[in-house]
Copies of this chain bind each other. A is one copy, B any other.
C-alpha cells in the first residue's frame, strides 16, 4: 500500500457536528425570519433574558464569540430596537447591553420556538441529554488547546 486513504466524511465527527449545525441553522432561519432575527441574534437575546446588562465580553463567554463578531451583531439588535448599549460608568472600556421593552416583549413571541425545534428534532429526551453532555465535553476538550 502506498498511503493511507483519506478519511470519509461519514466517519468524521467534525463533519457530523458541522452538517447538523447547518441543518439547525436552516430550521431556525425558517422559524426566526418572520421575527427578523438570525440564530446568533436569537441566542444573544436568550442570554440577555437570563441576565440583563451583560458586557460584550460576558456575552462572548456565554456564546463562545468575541467582540469582532458580537459588536456588529449587537449593533444590529440595537438598530432593530431590541437592545440598548451603554458604557459602564465604573469602567468606560466596558459596554453593557440591556434588553429594551421591545426586546423583552419579543420573548413572548419566541416561546413557541423551542417546541417547534423539539418537534423537528424528533429524538427522545434521553438521547437529547446524552448528546448535549457529549457535545459539551467535546467542546471543552477542543477549547482546551486555545
Contact = CB atoms under 8 A, between A and B. Distances in A.
Contact of A20 (B46, B47, B139): B139
The secondary structure that dominates the A interface is helix
A27 interface: yes
Give the number of copies in the complex: 2
A60 to B, nearest CB: 11
B17 A21 contact: yes
Contacts of A24: 14, 17-18, 142
B138 A123 contact: yes
Contacts of A121: 13, 138, 141-142
Interface centre among A11, A122, A139, by most chain B C-beta atoms within 10 angstroms, is A139
B120 A141 contact: yes
Contacts of A65: 22
Contacts of A33: none
